[in-house]
Amino acid sequence: MTKIGTVYGLGLGPGDQELMSVKSDRLLRNAKHVAFFRKAGRKGQARQMVQGLLAENAIEFPMEYPVTTEIPVSDPRYNEILSAFYTEVAAHVRALAESGEDVIVLCEGDPFFYGSFMHLFTRLKDVVPVEVVPAITGMSGSWTATGAPITWGDDVLTVLMGTLDEDKLTRHMQDTDALVVMKIGRNFDKVVRALKASGKFDDAWIVQFATMPNQTVTKLSEMTDKVTPYFSIVIVHGQGRRP
């Protein structure tokens, strides 16, 4: 019988190749099949993060999202289209594994932290071997880039998505000590309003492309340039108990 291959959800970390784990680097350099998500017509951020690390004979499988922001997430068609897409690409990856091939799936940050790999994981974990290789998250790279600890003592850290409605954003911001806001993009103005309403705007930083060559770290109140829709994270440091 053919030995079933393993699907690896490979955490790449926040962007700097030197922050990738030794295990991820080893698996990546020896991979025969490499899958990654990308927007149609783009190279794909995860693929760019591993530039120069793949074997020359690696077989690449780009998984192109059928929709990104063209349809609002509240539209029932959004989940229907994406569900069919994830089922289709999972079937391709499963077929490779069942034929005895290992498959690497590139994951920005950590595979289990707001990543698309999770949708493959739920479809594959009961039918073929799946191994998740954890990694440094983008938010960790971001708060480190500010040069200050994110939490002290008993500080509570809250991670929010900018896609939440404004009232919910404001309420969660008011109820926490330290704060990370992801998925800024088109939600930038809403996030700013919520930060002001919660009294945290003056303490907020925005980090773009954390750990990458084009990284920027700016106090949000001093931000004058246009915010990059992707790879932008807002940080508010806790100021809790310390000796």
Q: What is the DSSP string of 214-232?
A: T-EEEEGGG--SPPPSSSE
pTM equals 0.90
Between 1 and 33, the higher pLDDT residue:
33
Helices (H), strands (E): how many in the chain?
7, 10
Torsion sign, CA atoms 121, 30, 41, 15:
positive
Domains of the chain: 7-133 (3.40.1010.10), 138-236 (3.30.950.10)
pLDDT at 92 over 70: yes
Query: How large a percentage of the chain has pLDDT more than 90?
Result: 83
Q: How far apart are CA 150 and CA 235, in angstroms?
A: 8
Q: Tell whether the model's pLDDT for residue 228 goes beyond 80.
A: no
For 49, list phi and psi in degrees, rounded to 5: -65, -20
Predicted confidence (pLDDT) per residue in 52-78, tens digit: 999 999 999 999 999 776 677 677 788
Task: Write down the pLDDT at residue 51.
Answer: 95
Which of 125, 113, 136 lies closest to 22 in space, CA to CA?
Answer: 136
- DSSP reduced 3-state for 90: helix
